[in-house]
C-alpha cells in the first residue's frame, strides 16, 4: 500500500512538472515570436535618415565631397519641427538639428507642399546640393548652393542659397508652422552660426539632400 502511494505521488509530480515546463515553454515562445513594439516617430525618422546614408556616401566619394557629414532636410515634416539634420556617418547619429523654411511658391501662404526647379517659381527644389562658398548677401552670411540633380539644376541661377533670417525661431514651435521663403532653405541665426563653424572646419564640400519621405 505504501509503495502504491509513493508511486502515485511520483506520477503526480512528473505530470505537474511537465505541465509547468510546457507552460513556461509556451510563454517563452510567445515572447520570442511576439511582434516587436511599434517604433516611436523619432525612431522612425532616424531610421529614414540612416537609410539614405549609404547611397549619399557613395555619391559623395565619387565626386570628391565629404563622405561622413551630410545635411539632410526632410520636407515631409511640419515646418514647426526640427527637420534640418546634420548627420555624422562616422558616429551613425544626428549631431545637431534645427528649423528650416520651405518655399511659398509665390503665394501669400503655401498650404501643403509644392516643388519646382523653374526660375522665378519661389518654390523649394528637391534633390542633392553641393554647398559652395560663403558670402555676405541681403540677409547677411549665406552659402551658395549648386543643384546636382535634374530636379534642382537651376538652384544657382535661381539664387537659392542657405541663409538665416530672424523670423525663423531657434526652437521648435510645433504644432505651429514657421515663416516661408522664396525657395531658399532658411534657418535661424543661431543655427546658421553652428552650421557655419562646421562648414569651415571641412576640407571638402558638404552634400545637402532635400527630400520628402
Q: What are phi and psi of 44, to 5 degrees?
A: -65, -40
**pLDDT at res. 6:** 53
Asked if pLDDT for residue 34 goes beyond 80, the answer is: no
Fold entry, domain 41-211: L,D-transpeptidase catalytic domain-like (2.40.440)
In the predicted structure, residue 8 carries a pLDDT above the cut 90: no
Output DSSP code: residue 50: H
Rounded to a whole number, what is the distance in angstroms from the first to the last CA of the chain?
78
Beta strand 69-74 with 84-88: parallel, antiparallel or unpaired?
Answer: antiparallel
Q: What is the pLDDT of residue 33?
A: 59
How much is the mean pLDDT over the chain? 89
DSSP 210: E
> 109 falls in which pLDDT band (50, 70, 90)?
very high
Band of residue 24 on the pLDDT scale cut at 50, 70, 90: very low
Residue 26 has pLDDT above 80, yes or no: no
Amino acid at each position: 500500500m505504501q509503495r502504491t502511494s509513493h508511486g502515485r505521488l511520483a506520477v503526480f509530480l512528473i505530470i505537474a512538472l511537465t505541465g509547468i515546463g510546457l507552460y513556461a515553454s509556451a510563454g517563452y515562445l510567445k515572447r520570442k515570436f511576439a511582434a516587436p513594439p511599434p517604433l516611436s516617430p523619432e525612431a522612425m525618422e532616424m531610421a529614414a535618415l540612416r537609410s539614405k546614408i549609404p547611397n549619399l556616401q557613395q555619391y559623395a566619394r565619387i565626386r570628391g565631397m565629404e563622405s561622413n557629414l551630410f545635411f539632410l532636410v526632410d520636407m515631409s515634416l511640419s515646418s514647426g519641427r526640427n527637420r534640418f539634420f546634420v548627420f555624422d556617418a562616422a558616429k551613425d547619429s544626428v549631431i545637431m538639428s534645427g528649423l528650416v523654411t520651405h518655399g511659398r511658391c509665390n503665394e501669400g501662404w503655401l498650404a501643403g507642399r509644392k516643388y519646382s526647379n523653374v526660375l522665378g517659381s519661389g518654390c523649394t527644389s528637391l534633390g542633392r546640393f553641393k554647398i559652395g562658398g560663403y558670402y555676405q548677401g541681403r540677409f547677411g552670411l549665406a552659402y551658395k548652393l549648386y543643384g546636382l540633380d535634374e530636379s534642382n539644376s537651376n538652384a544657382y541661377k535661381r539664387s537659392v542659397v542657405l541663409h538665416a533670417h530672424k523670423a525663423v525661431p531657434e526652437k521648435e514651435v510645433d504644432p505651429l508652422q514657421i515663416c516661408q521663403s522664396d525657395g531658399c532653405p532658411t534657418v535661424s541665426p543661431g543655427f546658421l552660426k553652428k552650421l557655419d563653424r562646421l562648414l569651415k572646419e571641412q576640407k571638402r564640400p558638404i552634400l545637402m539632400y532635400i527630400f520628402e519621405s
